[in-house]
Chains A and B, each alone.
Chain A
Amino acid sequence: MSSIASQGIQTVKASSKPPVLPRLLKFIGLIILDSFVVWLSLKLFSFGYYPLVAVFVIIAIFVNVVLLRKEAYPLRWMVVGLVLMAMFTIYPIFFTVWVSFTNYGESHLITKKQAVDQILNYKYLPQAGKAYTWTAFKTPEGDYALWLIDANGIGYLAKVGVPPTQPVPGEASIGELDKNGIPKTIAGYERLNPIQAATDNNLTNLLFGDPGKTIQVRSPSEAAELLPLYVYDLAKDAMTNQETGMVYTNLRGIFTSSSGEQIRPGFVATIGLSNFKNFFISPALRGPLVEVTTWNFAFAILSLLLNFSLGLAIAILYNDRYFPYKKLIRTLLIIPYTVPALITILIWRGMLNPEIGVVNRILDSSIGLSPEWYTNQWWAKFAILLVNLWLSYPYFMLICSGALQSIPPDIYEAAIVDGARPWQQFRRITLPLLLVAVGPLLIASFVFNFNNFNLIYLFNAGGPPIPNTPTPAGYTDILISYVYNLAFSGSRGVDYGFAAAITIIIFVIVGVITLFQFRYTRMWEEVSENV
Chain B
Amino acid sequence: MSSMSKIDRLRSSASVQRKVGIGLRLIVAVFLIIFSIFPILWVISASLNSTGTLATQTLIPAKPSLDNYRTLLTTNEFPFWTWFWNSIKIAGITSVLSLAITTIAAYAFSRFRFRGRQTMLKGIMLINVFPALLALVATFLMISQIGDVLPFIGLDNHTSLILVYLGSAMGINIWLMKGFLDTIPREIDESAMVEGATHTQIFTKLILPLLRPILIVIAIINYIGTYGEFVMARVLLRSNEHYTLMVGLQIFTGAQFAQRWGVFAAGALIGALPIMIIYLLLQDQIVGGLTQGAVKG
Also in contact, A350 and B190, with CB within 8 A (given A95-B142, A496-B137): no
CA separation between A457 and B232, bound complex, in Å?
13
Instruction: Find the B residue at minimum CB distance from A6.
Output: B113
Chain A residues near B239 (CB-CB < 8 A) = none
Q: Which of B29, B142, B258 lies in contact with A92, CB distance below 8 A?
A: B142
Q: Which of B42, B113, B194, B287 lies in contact with A2, CB distance below 8 A?
A: B113
Cβ-based interface call for B271 (8 A):
yes
Q: Which of A16, A346, A348, A507 has the most CB of B within 10 A?
A: A346
Chain A residues near B54 (CB-CB < 8 A) = 350, 353, 356-357
Mark each residue of chain B from 25 to 42: 1 if its CB lies under 8 Å from any CB of chain A, else 0: 110110011011101101
CA separation between A458 and B257, bound complex, in Å?
13
**Residues of B contacting A: mostly:** helix
Mark each residue of chain A from 329 to 360: 1 if its CB lies under 8 Å from any CB of chain B, else 0: 11111111111111110111111010111100
Contact A47 B36, beta carbon cutoff 8 Å? no
Chain B residues near A87 (CB-CB < 8 A) = 163, 167
Cβ-based interface call for B182 (8 A):
yes
Cβ-based interface call for A399 (8 A):
yes
CA separation between A332 and B109, bound complex, in Å?
40
Contact A12 B196, beta carbon cutoff 8 Å? yes
Contact A506 B190, beta carbon cutoff 8 Å? no
Instruction: Find the B residue at minimum CB distance from A324.
Output: B22
Cβ-based interface call for A81 (8 A):
yes
Chain B residues near A204 (CB-CB < 8 A) = none
Cβ-based interface call for A57 (8 A):
no
Q: Which of B145, B235, B271 has the most CB of A within 10 A?
A: B145
Q: Which of B137, B150, B169 has the most CB of A within 10 A?
A: B137
Cβ-based interface call for A480 (8 A):
yes
Contact A40 B29, beta carbon cutoff 8 Å? no
Which residues of B, 1-59, contact A by the 8 Å Cβ criterion?
22, 25-26, 28-29, 32-33, 35-37, 39-40, 42-43, 46, 53-55, 57, 59
Cβ-based interface call for A44 (8 A):
yes
Contact B287 A398, beta carbon cutoff 8 Å? yes
Cβ-based interface call for B166 (8 A):
yes
Contact B193 A9, beta carbon cutoff 8 Å? yes
Cβ-based interface call for A148 (8 A):
no
Which residues of A, 56-101, contact B by the 8 Å Cβ criterion?
71, 73-75, 77-78, 80-82, 84-85, 87-93, 95-96, 99
Also in contact, A333 and B231, with CB within 8 A (given A85-B127, A95-B142): no
Cβ-based interface call for B215 (8 A):
no
List 10 A-B pairs, minimum CB-CB distance, nearest first: A88-B167, A78-B105, A77-B108, A92-B135, A338-B279, A340-B228, A92-B138, A74-B112, A356-B55, A95-B138
A89-B167, A332-B37 are known contacts; what are 9 more A-B pairs with Cβ within 8 Å? A44-B149, A77-B108, A80-B101, A81-B169, A84-B170, A87-B163, A346-B250, A356-B258, A530-B178
